[in-house]
Structure formats: C-alpha cells, structure tokens
Amino acid sequence: MSRRTAVAVLAASLLGVTACTPDPVATGTGGDAKAPAAAIPQQQVDKALHDQLPAKIRSAGKIVAVNNGSFPPYVIVGTDKGAPVEGATADLSQAVGQLLGIRIEHTTVDGLASVLSGMQAGRYDLDMGPTGDFVERQKQATFIDYVQEYVVFAVRKGNPKGIEDLATACGKRVGVMAAGSAEKVIKAQSVKCVAAGKPPVEVQSYKDQPSSILAVQSDRADAFFSSQAPLTYFVAQSGGKLELAGVGKGNGFEDLFQGALVPIGSPLAEVLLAALQKLHANGTYDAIMAKWGLEQNKLPKPGLNLGKS
C-alpha cells in the first residue's frame, strides 16, 4: 500500500475509532487535513555561513539529522520506507540547508535517548527538533531554541472526566510520552495526589503521540498530557471527538522553550543560530510557522539554551 493510500485509510479510521487501533505512526500524518500549501521563500547560499561549517560537513555536502518519530505538525514521518519527513521542521530544515549550501538528510530513531547517544557517538550531526530545552538536558546537548510551547490535556469532547489542570488529574488515566518531561511532571503530581489523600494518577506511557491520542479516543485513557501545538493538530483531525483542556494553565511548567540540539561544543550551534536569525529577518520563519498553524508558538528571536527550569 502506498503512503498516500495508507494515510487516507488510517485517517478515516481515526475519525471513527472505537475498539479498532490502526497503525499509530501512520495516523500521525494527518491524512486529508494536511496543511495547505504555502509559498516558502527560496534561500540563497550564504557563503560566510557555509564556510563556518565543520570541514567534514562541507566535504560531504550534507548534515545528517535525526528525529525520534512523528511529532505533528513539526515532524511527520511517512510509513513507507524512504518516504520524506514532512512538517514545519522539515520546511525549516530545507530553508536552513539552502542557506548553508548543503542538504540535510533526516533519519528516524526510537526515543530521545537514542538521539542523544547517536549524536555523542558521531552518527548524527543534529536533531532539528523541536525538543524541550531543560537545564538537565543542557548537560547532554546544546539547544538552539526557535519555538515556545505549552503543555495541556487532550480529552474526549465534553471533557467527561472534568480534567482542567494537574490538580484535577488525580484518579484519572493520563497518557504521556515515555521518558518525556510531561511524564516526570504527571508522576510527581500523582505523588502529590496520594499525599493529599486522593487516588493516584494512573500514568500510561506511550512511545509516540498517535498511540496516545488513540488511547483517549478509544476510552483506554482519560486524557493525553503533552505539548499544545501537536495536540491542537490532533484535535483538528479527530472529527469533533476531542478537545483541549487546561489551556492557559502552567500545568507544572514554567517558560517552555523547544528547539534543535547538537552535541556540546559543536560549531554547528552558532552556525544554525545565525541561519535561524536570518530566516527570522527575511520572513521565512513566519511563513513556515503560519503554514502549519503555529503562530502562537513563535519566538521573537532564536537563542541558545534558553531553558532555565
């Protein structure tokens, strides 16, 4: 089955899901509701930036980028082997590659731990993300932040369990991405629930976002606790089955910045920062964010290691 056919079938399944569980990765592609085409400006090579690239990259003519699976609308990984990565991150990568006069090749691995270990071993040059920037992660990589994020809940339409914030999650079944920051926060909240004499949160950890969303739609979870941008995307694909809850609340997070990451000490950090600054200045960043409905997640300017929590 081709990727286009698989996406169409699975998107239809997602709209009417009951007990069935279609391919969770394919569902994340968004099917027929794919973002409309937008004119993304073509970039001219910036020779000064190109010359700042490490010699190995200039010689190879490419940067090897890695991601840890679908994270719509930023990263949408096709189901067919060799299918191109799509989404806001892919568009941003293409613009950066044009500026630097090289191509950026994307490969997918399972989980952030694999991304970090692969970069430390020299198999990958960077992860375009966006990945949550936290102080403890800055000990493992350098972040080039280009978006701001918020963490909310995706629940069934009408919010039958009344989940409005962390305090109302006690005794509920809450899905999260395994090994992510939201998992740590919801587990800490579960401890607080018990200390207050309330039932603990039943934390359900999933390897990808589409699996988590399907768990909510099929009533195997009461909510999915994750980044607002992708949850907004999934809610829009649900045919009115889902809605957001806890919007505008801190939900255990202070200012949450997300971005690309490179190995500590990599000269790519400053080069990529300069490239993103140029894309901000010439309007390309705004065009890409608007194309994917991410206007509320824009940063006025990119920066290095902005996370302070």
pLDDT score at 167: 96
Structural domains of the chain, ranges and CATH numbers in brackets: 47-149+257-304 (3.40.190.10), 151-245 (3.40.190.10)
pLDDT score at 254: 83
Buried-state track 3-39, b at ≥16 Cβ within 10 A, e below 16: beebbeebbebbbebeeeebbbbbbbbbbeebbeeee
pLDDT score at 130: 95
User: By the 8 A CB rule, do 7 and 23 touch?
Assistant: no
Give residue for tokens 């395994």. 178
pLDDT score at 112: 87
- How much is the pTM? 0.77
Q: For the chain, list residues with pLDDT below 50.
A: 1-36
Average pLDDT, the chain: 87
CA angle centred on 18, ends 15 and 23, rounded to 5°: 65
User: By the 8 A CB rule, do 257 and 145 touch?
Assistant: yes
Alpha-carbon distance values, 112 to 42, 208, 279 (Å): 31, 11, 26
pLDDT score at 7: 32
pLDDT score at 38: 58
CA dist., res. 99 & res. 106, Å (int): 17
Alpha-carbon distance values, 307 to 2, 210, 255, 293 (Å): 41, 27, 7, 24
Secondary structure letter of residue 296 according to DSSP: G
What confidence tens digit (pLDDT) does each residue in 78-92 have?
877 667 899 999 999
Residue 56 has a CB neighbour count (10 Å cut-off) of 9
